[in-house]
């Protein structure tokens, strides 16, 4: 393999996946190794930060070796090493970033600190030909945001959650309905068997101006409906609750995103793309609704494959390539960050639930 080819090793450890990947500037994923910690966190119904950090420490070196072996390259073939530098659980972020610093120090290749959210934001450009600018719906366990992606490192946030992220709402719904962990896929599976019109849950913020989201009221309505059923709740009841919640959450997202599309089209005209990223982007019910919205608006919908929607090293490696091409590298004193907004100039969310 020619040494001059741009190849980047990417490390991800911001939450409960330990991941390492090797990607080329030609968009070839030479290796993409992901170790999920689902079984370790399942008994607690959510991610336990210290358990996650210990797992990253234990597994990261092994996964890096596995990725390099699978890619069939040597460290001398690398153009740079990229790692998530935030936002995320700080103990985990430190593991990946320190590992990348060690590799950069020993090999002399550039270090690139990647914003985890930028990794999600740019994944569509790894999977498809998506030119700037494009509209991005970023939906995950910790984030619900709408941004206009103007270029690498240039993001304009036009909407965010004022309380809970939609992925967090899915996780807590799964916990209330005893569906297991991780919550998003569990709710989606249960919803397939349910009646989405049985429970008339609210569509938070629907019909209002702007692009902000809210999901706390929807969670409260679900909890009240579940408590009303009590111990007599059947499997069919639980499936109906899951389906009704999913429909309400998705309709709320679609309503807010409709406003965002109007803003994007007004500023940039037709012919752009609507990109969906983050773990919740793997939800097929959401994807179908988004396709209808995009078709009606005359804009292209781009959703990365499910394995690249959830946290992975390939998205970090690709973001590293994008940043390297733009001339953005970091020194070895780069600090890990628990919070790191993509658009630092954006107005704060109206209420205290916003997670940067």
Q: Write the pLDDT tens digit of every residue in 180-226.
A: 988 999 999 999 999 999 999 999 999 999 999 999 999 999 999 99
Which range of 51-55, 167-171, 246-250, 346-350 scores highest in mean pLDDT? It is 246-250
H helices of 230-283, in order, are 235-268
- Cα torsion for 11, 13, 18, 22, to the nearest 10°? -10
98-108 mean pLDDT = 98
pLDDT of residue 227: 97
pLDDT of residue 351: 55
Residue 26 CA to residue 15 CA, distance in Å, equals: 28
Cβ-contact 276, 287 below 8 angstroms? yes
Cβ-contact 155, 148 below 8 angstroms? yes
pLDDT in tens, 284-294: 999 999 999 99
CB-hemisphere CA count at 13 Å for 236? 2
Angle between helices 235-268 and 183-191 (to 10 degrees): 110
More confident: 329 or 48: 329
- Cα torsion for 157, 161, 162, 163, to the nearest 10°? -150
Closest C-alpha among 177, 169, 263, 247 to residue 214: 169
Residue 319 CA to residue 12 CA, distance in Å, equals: 12
pLDDT in tens, 237-285: 999 999 999 999 999 999 999 999 999 999 998 889 999 998 899 999 9
90-116 mean pLDDT = 97
Closest C-alpha among 149, 116, 115 to residue 274: 149
Task: Report whether pLDDT(1) > 50.
Answer: no
Q: At a CB cut-off of 8 Å and minimum separation 6, what does 53 contact?
A: 89, 91, 92, 94, 95
pLDDT band at 352 (very low <50, low <70, confident <90, very high): very low
pLDDT band at 49 (very low <50, low <70, confident <90, very high): confident
The 10 Å CB-count burial string (b at 16+, else e) for 153-180 is eebbbbbbbbbbbbbbbbbbbbebbebb
């Amino acid at each position: 393999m020619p040494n001059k080819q741009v190849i980047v090793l990417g490390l991800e450890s911001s939450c409960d996946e330990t991941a390492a990947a090797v990607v080329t500037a030609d968009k070839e994923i030479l290796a993409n190794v992901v170790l999920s910690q689902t079984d370790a966190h399942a008994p607690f119904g959510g991610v336990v930060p210290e358990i996650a950090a210990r797992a990253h420490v234990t597994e990261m070196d092994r996964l890096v070796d596995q990725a390099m072996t699978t890619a069939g390259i040597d460290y001398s073939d690398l153009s740079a090493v990229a790692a998530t530098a935030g936002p995320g659980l700080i103990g985990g972020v430190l593991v990946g970033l320190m590992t990348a610093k060690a590799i950069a120090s020993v090999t002399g290749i550039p270090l690139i600190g990647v914003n985890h959210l930028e990794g999600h934001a740019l994944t569509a450009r790894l999977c498809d030909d998506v030119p700037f600018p494009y509209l991005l719906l970023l939906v995950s366990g910790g984030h619900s945001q709408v941004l206009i992606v103007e270029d690498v490192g240039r993001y304009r946030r036009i909407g965010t959650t004022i309380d809970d992220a939609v992925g967090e709402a899915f996780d807590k719904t799964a916990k209330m309905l005893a569906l297991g962990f991780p919550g998003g896929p569990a709710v989606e599976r249960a919803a397939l068997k349910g009646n989405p019109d049985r429970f008339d849950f609210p569509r938070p913020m629907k019909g209002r101006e702007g692009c902000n989201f809210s999901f706390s009221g929807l969670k409260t309505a679900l909890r009240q409906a579940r408590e009303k059923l009590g111990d007599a709740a059947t499997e069919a009841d639980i499936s109906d609750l899951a389906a009704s919640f999913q429909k309400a959450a998705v309709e709320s997202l679609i309503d807010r995103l409709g406003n965002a599309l109007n803003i994007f089209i007004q500023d940039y005209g037709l012919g752009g793309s609507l990109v969906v990223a983050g773990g919740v982007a793997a939800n097929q019910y959401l994807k179908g609704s988004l396709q209808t919205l995009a078709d009606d608006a005359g804009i292209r919908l781009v959703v990365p494959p499910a394995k690249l929607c959830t946290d992975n090293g390939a998205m970090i490696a690709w973001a590293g390539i994008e940043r390297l091409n733009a001339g953005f590298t970091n020194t070895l004193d780069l600090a890990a960050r628990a919070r790191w907004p993509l658009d630092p100039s954006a107005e704060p969310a109206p209420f205290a639930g916003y997670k940067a």
